[in-house]
Amino acid sequence: MLRLILRRLVVALPTLFLVSIMVFTLQKILPGDPVLVLAGEDRDPATLNFLREKYRLNDPLPAQYLAWVAQVARGDLGKSMRTDVPVTTLIAQKLPVTLQLSVLAMLLAAIVGIPAGIAAAVRKGTAVEAAANVAALSGMSIPNFWFGIILIMVVAVQWRLLPASGYVPPSEDLWMSMKTLFLPAIVLSTAIAAYLMRHTRSAMLEALSADYVRTARAKGVPPRKVVLLHALRNALVPIVTLVTLLFGELMAGAVLTEQVFTIPGFGKLMVDAVFTRDYAVVQGVVLCVAVGFIFLNLLADVLYVLVNPRLRHS
């Protein structure tokens, strides 16, 4: 297990290096000048030059990159050019909001997608499987922003069941916090539930056709036990790792959803930083996302070995 983790960490280092180069260079070639945004109406040349010197924008691009890498290696992601707040502080404020939303969305997706996949496999060739496939295809096809607007208009505006937007921290009111996140969690969970349904169905069909399942049926084991204790246990091995990887997609996919529901999370922080050309925030957020994806991939590999005994000694 330790050898597996060390191998994955060795691979992660060049990945982080390439991601850092891409993030740093691609945003530099975007049109526009962040200094003009910072200066506002005061476009005095002395002020513009002072801002460029302050943020080292006059230095050559390689020098800027090396200075940023050295700064990150010390645990300092810099300060926001717009608010002068440390990037680590902004991330610490916004990341828990997106994490809470993503965890709720993943729970909803697992509650719907995994049982639907089991039912579709057990009822293969029936209307149950057809309905599950149609629902899964619809979930993967509907755009998040459109589905979110529809939910706001129907559930929040017409029925007045849940808040249309905003966010309440759980430390202030846990129930109200869950209510504000329920609609965006539904929006985020639709595509994830569809993926889980299709993969669960495929894994269950493979498990149900295995020799040990036929042997259990021949011995007279009740059908429910065959499905839940024999087939499902083995079918969940790839599903566990898939859930880990899909959680990373939830974090990335929350950008549009947070914009639609006005949730002050990680995605909204990223969008605002891109629009205002806040270099330090964009670099810090993307680097944090890259580290998160690498960690989730490592966690998926570890979980796969833990739940699959055949790989523990390989």
Instruction: Please tell me the predicted confidence (pLDDT) of residue 33.
Output: 73
**Fold category of 90-311 in CATH:** MetI-like fold (1.10.3720)
* Banded model confidence at residue 252, pLDDT cuts 50, 70, 90: confident
| pTM of the predicted structure, to 2 decimals | 0.86
pLDDT band at 309 (very low <50, low <70, confident <90, very high): low
What pLDDT score was predicted for residue 254? 81
Is the pLDDT at 51 greater than 90? The verdict is no
pLDDT: which is higher, 181 or 277: 181
With a cut of 80, say whether residue 65 has pLDDT above it. yes
Nearest partner of 156 among 313, 286, 261, judged by Cα: 261
Choice among 103-112, 116-125, 219-228, 231-240 with the minimum mean pLDDT: 231-240
Instruction: Report which of 295, 288, 294, 283 is spatially closest to residue 69, judged by C-alpha positions.
Output: 283
Per-residue DSSP letters for 162-174? Answer: S-SS----TTT-H
Domain boundaries defined on the chain: 35-76, 90-311
Q: pLDDT at position 198, please?
A: 94
More confident residue, 57 or 92: 92
| DSSP structural state of residue 155 | I
Tens digits of residue pLDDT in 128-165: 999 999 999 999 999 888 999 999 999 999 999 999 99
pLDDT band (50, 70, 90) for residue 282: confident
| Confidence band for 234, pLDDT divided at 50, 70 and 90 | confident
Structure tokens at 284: 């810090």
| Residue 133 CA to its chain's centroid (Å) | 24
**Where does the pLDDT of residue 87 fall: very low under 50, low under 70, confident under 90, or very high at 90 and above?**
very high
**Phi/psi-derived region of residue 44, left when phi > 0, alpha when psi is between -120 and 50, beta in every other case:** beta
Going 155 to 156 to 161 to 166, the CA torsion angle's sign is positive
